[in-house]
Structure 1
Amino acid sequence: MDDEQLRPNFWEKYTLDQLTTAEWEALCDGCGGCCLEKFLDDPESPYEVEYTDVACKLLDCSTGYCSNYENRQQFVPECVSLTADKLPDMMWLPSNCAYKLIYLGEGLPKWHLLLTQDIELTKQGMREDGVGVAGRCVSENQVNEDDLEDRIVRWIQA
């Protein structure tokens, strides 16, 4: 996170579509929830979603971070690029997602890096709140697509 490009408390002062690229990227807490395979039960109701523990092939399941974030769409064309205008249709995002929280007019989680300014405190807070896929997911390369329904998890909520 390049602090020089971040305006103070930007998440409280500006709308999502007014953020710089650096500010937009800084909102991501790195939980990896958006990278999990999921079932949208009713396409008309974006809140009805079931997450699996199966992650995109680019996600490093030990860290919860994309192994090729900058070029991800070259390798995974269906990877969604989250933008402010797409957010209303993406309420399936995890309940801890800063983009979703800000869009809904709520604040950042108390452990968010923008608030703590300390990566270790942030990681500790995420662990305490049960947030993040690191160490709890498997790559889609290791799972048969027919087995996805057997891999639904309850530790992540929309």
Structure 2
Amino acid sequence: MQNNETAPFWETKTLEELTPQEWEALCDGCGLCCLNRLQDEDDDTAPIYLTRVACHCYDINAGQCSDYANRFKRVEGCMGLTLERVAEYDWLPETCAYRLRHQGKPLPSWHPLITKNRNTVRPHGMHALNPVLESDDLELEDYIVDTFSDDL
């Protein structure tokens, strides 16, 4: 590890010490948290199933939220990734920077903070998988792609 004077913030600070801007910078923009998931609502230990159905605010071409600043007002149940909930992030992929830093692990070499390029995520397969936008006429069960697990 580099010394603290030259090491990047994500290596020297705990999640609790991050500024809001640093917290947001940890996001690699994969969009996987924007995909709808299914779980038996009566059993919080049941598997979580990932679907290809993205939130209606997801911009498929840009691979990100189209109204990030207002997402909580526009989308009921939008998952806010917060420090208070970081221990619950086991439903995110094992490459998620929030999970990794919570576990004291380094960021992957392709992470945009390391490469200085937002386009390095997709070639590594970390992005929403051929998403379709959510609508009232879709049955989420028809779009399940895999059990959301560390193998994703």
TM-score for both structures, normalised by structure 1: 0.80
CA distance in structure 1 between the partners assigned to 2:145 and 2:64 by the alignment:
19
Deviation at 1:155, TM superposition (A): 9.4
Pair 1:151 & 2:143 matched: yes
Equivalent residue, structure 2, for 1:13: 12
TM-score for both structures, normalised by structure 2: 0.83
Query: Which amino acid in the other structure matches residue 44 of structure 2?
Result: P
CA distance in structure 1 between the partners assigned to 2:141 and 2:18 by the alignment:
37
Question: Is the 8 Å Cα contact of residues 50 and 152 (structure 1) preserved in structure 2?
Answer: yes
Question: Is the 8 Å Cα contact of residues 54 and 143 (structure 1) preserved in structure 2?
Answer: no
Write out per-residue CA displacement over residues 66-115 of structure 1, whole angstroms, 9 at most, x where no aligned residue.
00000111111311221111111231112221101111221111111111
Structure 1 residue ranges without an equivalent (≥5): 1-6
Q: What percentage of aligned pairs have identical amino acids?
A: 43
Pair 1:43 & 2:44 matched: yes
- Give the secondary structure class of the aligned counterpart of 2:76: coil
Runs of 4+ deviating beyond 3 Å: 154-158
Paired residues for 1:1-158 under 5 Å: 8-40=7-39, 42-44=43-45, 48-120=47-119, 122=120, 126-133=121-128, 136-141=130-135, 143-144=137-138, 147-154=139-146, 157-158=149-150
Equivalent residue, structure 2, for 1:3: none
Deviation at 1:36, TM superposition (A): 0.6
Deviation at 1:40, TM superposition (A): 3.1
Write out per-residue CA displacement over residues 92-148 of structure 1, whole angstroms, 9 at most, x where no aligned residue.
11222110111122111111111111334x2xxx233211017x101102752xx21
CA RMSD of aligned residues (A): 2.2
Query: Which amino acid in the other structure matches residue 122 of structure 2?
Result: R
Q: How many residues align?
A: 143
Structure 2 residue ranges without an equivalent (≥5): 1-5
